[in-house]
Amino acid sequence: MDLLKRQACEAGKDVAIEHVLVQGAFQLLAGGDVEAHDAQIRQALEELSQKVDVVVLAQASMARAVRGTAHSLPVLTSLVLGVENVKRRLEQR
């Protein structure tokens, strides 16, 4: 999150970052229940889509859950590439 904040600052943008932890999702994935993991991530994305402009996923394993969502919210799935994309978007505003 520090990298996101730093990139926003360098772009001259003031951003609010909302940190969300989906309780139990990692344990589901580690236990082999990929479908339940993805369903929990999708539910969190749906809830966030009402509150934020963009989502940056912290784990690459979450990217699969983006498929099947009904919102048009940009979801960045690779931390490094996602931060670069956020920086570009901020610079365009």
Number of structural domains, the chain?
1
25-74 confidence digits (pLDDT tens): 999 999 999 999 999 999 999 999 889 988 988 888 888 888 877 778 88
Question: Residues 72-89: pLDDT tens digits?
Answer: 888 887 755 777 778 888
pTM of the model: 0.73
pLDDT of residue 31: 97
Question: E-assigned strands of 1-93?
Answer: 55-56, 75-76
Distance CA 87, CA 66 (A): 21
Contact 55, 48 (CB under 8 A): yes
Which residues constitute the domain of residue 79? Answer: 2-92
**All residues at 6 or more sequence positions from 92 whose CB lies less than 8 Å from its CB, including other chains:** none
The two three-digit tokens of residue 31, written as one number? 């236990």
